Amino acid sequence: MLRGFVLVMTLFVFVSGCASSGVLSRHKQEVTAESYGNDKAKGLVVLSAIWGRTWKCAQFENGQLRSFGFDRLPGRTTAEDASPDVLVEGSPFYAERQPVNYVLALEPGEYGLATFSIKVASSVTDVKIASVGRARLFEGRKAIGGTFHVNAGELVYIGHFGLDCYKEPTIWRYYPEGREGFDGYKKVIKTQYPFLDVDNMQFRLFETTVLGRDYVLPQKKS
């Protein structure tokens, strides 16, 4: 596995007595049955995120993916503190390891990974947030972390995003293997989003040379 991103650590302090729900809020660009009539003219992007903790993550006691985001290309800014065009966030209190599925209505075009953050803990009292932004994920206007594209009126699956713990914690793009795996995933999406035509969902992974492996879905048997 290639590793091109050294994580920058900033101290993250839990406030004593602070309460927060482990339930994930709905993404602002997420398709609903009510919005689908208007959203289907855009590009519909299907992805999943694994927000739960991974124990014994590299040199840490545990690690947890907290967020990741994409800029529509060409990017409108290179500023580190600017919000990405698409931001997907988890909860630090979300414990489930099961993937959380999203279908997002986006403007057609190409998108590049602009940011991701990971919570890492060496102990109960030693907890930090590792953040990587445009300074590491872009070279000029080129997205070197990876890209995906979506066309108008298209439903496209781009991958499962989770944590990889090889040497250093980092975001990693996974996927269901084989036609059987993808067909099973489509059934899950259909259950969650019954108004979608999942039979026409495209398998076109987020393309990256550093945060995932290449994979082409086998052709259907005739």
What confidence tens digit (pLDDT) does each residue in 112-160 have? 999 999 999 999 889 999 899 999 999 988 999 999 999 999 999 999 9
Question: Furthest-apart CA pair in the chain: how many Å?
Answer: 60
> Are 113 and 143 a contacting pair, CB within 8 Å?
yes
Q: Which residues are CB-contacts of 28 (< 8 A; sequence separation ≥ 6)? A: none
Asked if residues 51 and 91 have their Cβ atoms less than 8 Å apart, the reply is: yes
Position 222 scores a pLDDT of 60
Asked whether residue 97 is domain-assigned, the answer is yes
In this predicted structure, the answer to whether residue 8 has a pLDDT above a threshold of 70 is: no
Instruction: Say which DSSP state 207 is in.
Output: B
Query: Does 41 reside within a domain?
Result: yes
Q: Report the pLDDT value the prediction gives residue 78, as an integer from 0 to 100.
A: 78
Q: Establish if 219 belongs to a structural domain.
A: no
Q: Is residue 211 assigned to a domain?
A: no
Smallest CA-to-CA distance from 109 within 143, 72, 147 is with 72
Q: Work out how many domains the chain is built from and give that number.
A: 1
Task: Please choose, from the candidates 177, 155, 173, the residue with its C-alpha nearest in 3D space to the C-alpha of residue 164.
Answer: 173
pLDDT greater than 50 at residue 3: no
Residue 9 has pLDDT above 90, yes or no: no
**Residue 22 falls inside a structural domain:** no
- Other beta carbons within 10 angstroms of residue 160's beta carbon come to 21
**Would you say residue 187 lies in a domain?**
yes
> Dihedral of the CA atoms 76, 77, 80, 85 (nearest 10)?
-10
Residue 54 β-bridge partners: 63
Structural domain boundaries enclosing 95: 8-12+31-203
Choose between 78 and 195: higher pLDDT.
Answer: 195
pTM: 0.88
**Number of CB atoms found within 10 A of residue 13's CB:** 8
- Decide if pLDDT at 45 tops 70: yes
Residue 13 pLDDT > 50, yes or no?
Answer: no
What is the average per-residue pLDDT within 175-198?
96
Query: Is 50 exceeded by the pLDDT of residue 52?
Result: yes
Cis peptide leading into residue 74 (ω within 30°): yes
Mean pLDDT of all residues belonging to the chain: 87
Domain presence at residue 176: yes
